[in-house]
Structure 1
């Protein structure tokens, strides 16, 4: 009798341990204690759409700190752990090498590559050769397509909240389409079509709205243009009557200010939205960009 009682007790204990091991009500590594799915985004535009689509059902972490250049990201051990534990990693292959490597080693089966939705177009590298232009989010129509595919993937990962995810994605896509309509109307009738930028970040935006991007340097914002290139840009700007030389929010304005002074133009911000200041978001910065473009191009 005593032996049977002991065995029965051990069996009951084993069942309890097995239930605990299976998870029960405990969160999995891919979810927060409150049940929200952990999503890791490589940089701001991907954080923005992940938060808009996931909303209260997701806990989104941006690997790139506000005010930092996402191209140069180096991952800390805590960030590598975040990638390992994530339910979904949203990134753009080829844009952040450290993230690419971490995804390859730790998150290949739970990664969503934005470039697989909207293939990147080639961007001229003024230092020789060609590279893919990563700034696809600056085209609202392309960005809306990415939103739709991300929603599909997120709904598959989090089927309990699939309906809400699809509704929120549809709402965001509607906002992006209205933004496209505003840009199309706002840039339709302008005195000029040339936009002189500090580097070649606005190819998708220029292509969508029939503008001509004239970059001082190539795809790499840190690259120094040759004196000959600077002279060529200055001469072209004078010829076309350019009134504004654009620089970026996260990059030193010195180069653009130098060209602007030589041309007799002003320097102003045109933001590639790789990171945003507190109080702004993707839509509001795109609206600011439209206002800046209309003023620079003499649009009516």
Structure 2
């Protein structure tokens, strides 16, 4: 498996008003669209596809590079996909999340390229677990990703940013606004519809944010253990503490020392559940659960929707995640 690459600081340091710089190398000319007159949008993986479909509505034709069931970070781009990508009117992707996509996009020659990483910020999650004076509060944007500073299998590494911004509904709403503005630029004829759809989606995401705040504000514990350290933004937003088993690679084998450490964390922080995800093996989660007498459950990073997902779209799966977290954390 490819090592997960992180959003570089330089890519985010110049973040500006949403959508203002979302279209790179774009002269402002209207996209021509396909033979059916629709804006041809290629999305890199599910969270980008969902935004394109909801905001574009009937005016866009959306294709995705990552098919259902494929782990996005492992994606390899075929020659056919590369050729198809060059024909897109708009490309919507999250730079550095999928190295193969980054390379294909750079070679595509497409004028309207929307990098979702420029539409919001990805905080550093690197303070040490149990560090003196460190505590999480609701809305703490700089909470630790998984409580460890070094990239030793615990998280995204010292000084590294967590790319899983869509798991924070508030950040996903910022991206949605930026995508809406990008579509308006690419297809001015339908700008009013794109703005209306984007505003509606932002309203729904803000509502989801409120559901999470209310649902997780009073819990028996704030710590959860997960195989994939993808939930740093979610944890930071809602005052939780994530402990990742395998860090950036959900299928890597944690060290015996890490497993022992997690057993101690589970006991100290009254953890009841070890979470695993739908697109990766649950082996390590079940091993840790068996060794500690804990339960297992699903916490979905929403990198793709399959028949085994606990919901048919972003909102349904996120609400399943909320329900599972409430149960595991002892929400009152």
1:113 aligns with 115
1:76 aligns with 78
Gaps of 5+ in 2: 1-29, 126-148
Gaps of 5+ in 1: 1-27
The DSSP-based 3-state class of the residue aligned with 2:328 is: helix
1:15 aligns with none
- Once the two structures are superposed, the pairs formed by residues 198-217 of structure 1 within 5 Å of their partners are 198-217=227-246
2:297 maps to 1:285 = no
2:276 maps to 1:233 = no
Structure 1 residue 108: Cα displacement: 5.6
Q: Which structure: larger Rg? A: 1
Match of 2:152 among 102, 126, 147: 126
Deviations 1:194-217 (A, max 9, x none): 010102100000000000001112
Match of 1:244 among 273, 277, 287: 273
Deviations 1:81-106 (A, max 9, x none): 22100110001111111111111121
2:47 maps to 1:45 = yes
1:181 aligns with 210
Counterpart-to-counterpart distance in 2, 1:119 and 1:80 = 29
> Which stretch has the larger CA shift, 277-286 or 184-193?
277-286
> Which stretch has the larger CA shift, 93-102 or 275-284?
275-284
Counterpart-to-counterpart distance in 2, 1:214 and 1:71 = 21
Match of 1:266 among 288, 291, 295: 295
1:63 aligns with 65
Q: From the superposition, tell whether residues 30 and 263 of structure 1 become closer, same or farther in structure 2 (CA, over 3 Å).
A: farther
> Which stretch has the larger CA shift, 174-183 or 235-244?
235-244
Match of 1:103 among 92, 95, 105: 105
Say whether the 8 Å CA contact 1:40–1:83 is kept in structure 2: yes
Larger relative contact order (CA 8 Å, sep ≥ 6): 2
> Which stretch has the larger CA shift, 29-38 or 259-268?
29-38
2:189 maps to 1:160 = yes
Instruction: Give the alignment's TM-score, normalised by structure 2.
Output: 0.79
The DSSP-based 3-state class of the residue aligned with 1:199 is: coil
- Once the two structures are superposed, the pairs formed by residues 139-154 of structure 1 within 5 Å of their partners are 139-154=168-183
Say whether the 8 Å CA contact 2:223–2:243 is kept in structure 1: yes
Counterpart-to-counterpart distance in 2, 1:132 and 1:222 = 20
Name the count of aligned residue pairs: 273
Deviations 1:16-48 (A, max 9, x none): xxxxxxxxxxxx995232111110000000000
Structure 1 residue 172: Cα displacement: 0.3
Greater share of residues in helix: 1
